[in-house]
Amino acid sequence: MIEAEGLSWSYAATPILEDVAVDSQDGRVLGLIGPNGSGKTTLLRLLYGALRGRGTVRIDGDDLPRLPAKEVARRLAVVVQESGTDTTLTAGEMVLLGRTPHLSSFARAGEHDLEIAADCLARVGGSHLGPRSFGSLSGGERQRVLIARALAQEATHLLLDEPTNHLDIRYQHEILSLVRALGTTSIVVLHDLNLAARYCDDLILLDQRKVAARGTVDEVLRAEILEPVYDIGIERLELRGEIHLLFRPAPPDQISGSASTLVSGAASSSGSTPGRCASQTSTSIT
């Protein structure tokens, strides 16, 4: 369980998050959703300690700042968006790094660790990537390798920042289906509300630096809640017991501002402020 209270963060004098609380339940997938700039990634970074702001974060009742780094790594596995490509490691070696929290000082990975890493790479559909240089992989391939590394960590909590970024439709669903099937406590930043509807149990909707809504998928993904936040028409359908959202953008003649203004605005705002696998496939990772 990950619990947080009063989380606040400012960049210079600009508030990014204000007084946010999080309560992720054991074995459930919590989605962080909201418009660009609403603070989703910042909140995730506060939850795993990459940022230190005001408020408290507890992992299974223990204060995060008081836990030794190695213990944090055993409890939290993190997949972030940004990943440097200036490395000489192969994809297989990158996945094997996930075993580091389970090794004693100066110990080398053994056959057991190699098997786990290979199994995890296979589970994300990346067995063929093992011998290749990580830096030579496409964005989607790197994302799969980083998720495999997180799985190899065998942590009890999994935190992912846009894990479907760069992935095609098939792998978007395969990766999120895998996350859901793990049974670990997971927190996932997602932009796609329909993916959130299908693979999350609970949601926190962020807007204007604060929590706009929280609850189950059924409670949060409602037009009257989402439309004021996203400023777009939304129709909710329920097919075969699943929620699907249809979006209705405003007609072009109702969109304020000239095309040049919209383009320049978009340019100026670009940019943004990362269990033992059951499969026993024998796959080379080096």
Evaluate whether 166 touches 147 at the Cβ level (below 8 Å): no
Looking at per-residue pLDDT, the higher value among 96 and 256 belongs to 96
Evaluate whether 124 touches 277 at the Cβ level (below 8 Å): no
Evaluate whether 199 touches 178 at the Cβ level (below 8 Å): no
93-125 pLDDT, tens digit each = 999 999 988 887 777 878 899 999 999 999 888
Is residue 275 domain-resident? no
Looking at per-residue pLDDT, the higher value among 11 and 206 belongs to 206
The CATH number of the domain holding residue 43 is 3.40.50.300
pLDDT value at position 259?
A: 39
Length of the chain, in residues: 286
Q: What's the total number of domains in the chain?
A: 1
User: Residues 151-164: what's their mean pLDDT?
Assistant: 91
**pLDDT category, 165, cuts 50, 70, 90?**
confident
Nearest CA-CA partner of 158 in 7, 26, 22: 26
Is residue 210 domain-resident? yes
Please give the DSSP secondary-structure letter assigned to residue 84: -
pLDDT value at position 254?
A: 62
Is residue 64 domain-resident? yes
pLDDT value at position 225?
A: 96
Q: Which two structure tokens, joined as six digits, stand for 26?
A: 């054991």
Q: What CA–CA distance (Å, rounded) separates 119 from 142?
A: 17
Evaluate whether 148 touches 120 at the Cβ level (below 8 Å): yes
User: Residues 259-272: what's their mean pLDDT?
Assistant: 41
Q: What CA–CA distance (Å, rounded) separates 235 from 222?
A: 8
Is residue 18 domain-resident? yes
**pLDDT category, 256, cuts 50, 70, 90?**
low
pLDDT value at position 255?
A: 52
Residue 136's domain spans which residues? 2-268
Is residue 281 domain-resident? no
pTM score above 0.75: yes
Nearest CA-CA partner of 45 in 187, 256, 201: 187
Is residue 116 domain-resident? yes
Is residue 171 domain-resident? yes
Q: Which percentage of the chain shows pLDDT scores above 90?
A: 50
Average pLDDT in the chain:
84
**pLDDT category, 43, cuts 50, 70, 90?**
very high
Contacts of 258 by beta carbon, 8 Å cutoff, 6+ apart: none
pLDDT value at position 253?
A: 64
Is residue 83 domain-resident? yes
User: Residues 19-46: what's their mean pLDDT?
Assistant: 93
**pLDDT category, 184, cuts 50, 70, 90?**
confident
